[in-house]
Amino acid sequence: MNPDLKLKAVQMSAQIQQVELEMAYYSRQESENKSRLEQMNDRLQTLRREKQRLDEQIANLEVFVPFQGEVLSSDEWLRQLDGRFVPRGTPLLLLGDSRRMVAKVWVPEAQFARIFKQPEVLGQGTELMLYAFADQKFTGQVTAVSRHREENMGEFGEKLALSNKVGGEVLTEYDPAIGQEKPVEAVYEVTINLELQELPVSARPYMSGRAHIECGHSTLYQWGKDSLLRFISPEVRL
């Protein structure tokens, strides 16, 4: 909420009350005050229109979301928004719905072809290990596969922790054109739905780990010939 708008609205209300009191006073005087009353009435209507405009602006500052969740945007991002006007359609916040926890996995193109021989076929079983709970494993299923390579670390920089520059395993480089790190090689995002009843209560968005994605079985001959792996282990982010 912009405090300047609220202050202006309060000041405008005070001015309207003052003009209304003066009009009530002059209306009890002689007819020579008629022109004065007309001027004050014009002023009153102008103030009321301005007050209505401010009230509409204040009402538009309220943001409603379709679910209860947690604000995931960084404190720095929120400070940049404080007191600013933003164009219509500009993303304001990144929200996480803790009732629908999913894992976002970035798979390099070399491994992608091994896992998804038919990208339109989903439902592969997965086994997830979070670094915060290294002694536990969680299961899930692949529910979505991106058809386009990832070009940046997210609109809010939420995937930056995947970069090798901050301890992740995705090789990235800084792109001055977008002001962000971007993957050096082609990587594709895979979405894994997790069994929520298995996750610890203390599991939080942005926790890192590794995911084993089942990509089928092969004979020993096929495995030796094609170097196929049953499980591929890209890094994962909740």
Query: Is residue 197 domain-shared with residue 142, that is, in the same domain?
Result: yes
Query: Is residue 17 domain-shared with residue 127, that is, in the same domain?
Result: no
Tell me whether residue 198 is in a domain.
yes
Query: Is residue 37 domain-shared with residue 120, that is, in the same domain?
Result: no
Share of the chain above pLDDT 70, in %: 81
Structure confidence at residue 228 (pLDDT): 38
Query: Is residue 84 domain-shared with residue 132, that is, in the same domain?
Result: no
Spatial separation of the C-alpha atoms in residues 13 and 7, rounded to whole Å: 10
Tell me whether residue 56 is in a domain.
yes
Query: Is residue 18 domain-shared with residue 91, that is, in the same domain?
Result: no
- Report residue 220's pLDDT band, with 50, 70 and 90 as the boundaries: very low
Query: Residues 6 or more apart from 225 whose CB is under 8 A from it?
Result: none
- Report residue 33's pLDDT band, with 50, 70 and 90 as the boundaries: low
Q: What is the pLDDT of residues 42-83, one digit of tens each?
A: 888 888 888 888 888 777 777 777 777 777 777 777 777 777
Spatial separation of the C-alpha atoms in residues 75 and 92, rounded to whole Å: 12
Q: What is the pLDDT of residues 119-160, one digit of tens each?
A: 677 888 888 888 888 888 888 889 988 888 888 877 667 777
Structure token digits, residue 98: 């803790």
Q: Count other Cβ atoms within 10 Å, centred on residue 192.
A: 25
Tell me whether residue 214 is in a domain.
yes
Query: Is residue 43 domain-shared with residue 91, that is, in the same domain?
Result: no
Tell me whether residue 202 is in a domain.
yes
| Structural domain for 44, as ranges | 3-60
Structure confidence at residue 230 (pLDDT): 37
Say which CATH number the domain at 221 has. 2.40.30
Q: Hey, is 202 helix, strand or coil?
A: coil
Burial (CB < 10 A; 0-12, 13-18, 19+), residue 146, is middle
Tell me whether residue 144 is in a domain.
yes
Query: Is residue 86 domain-shared with residue 112, that is, in the same domain?
Result: no
For the chain, the average pLDDT equals 76
Tell me whether residue 154 is in a domain.
no
Q: Count other Cβ atoms within 10 Å, centred on residue 231.
A: 13
Across the range 202-218, mean pLDDT stands at: 77
Burial (CB < 10 A; 0-12, 13-18, 19+), residue 130, is buried
Structure confidence at residue 119 (pLDDT): 65
Query: Is residue 55 domain-shared with residue 77, that is, in the same domain?
Result: no
Q: Count other Cβ atoms within 10 Å, centred on residue 105.
A: 27
Q: What is the pLDDT of residues 62-72, one digit of tens each?
A: 777 777 777 77
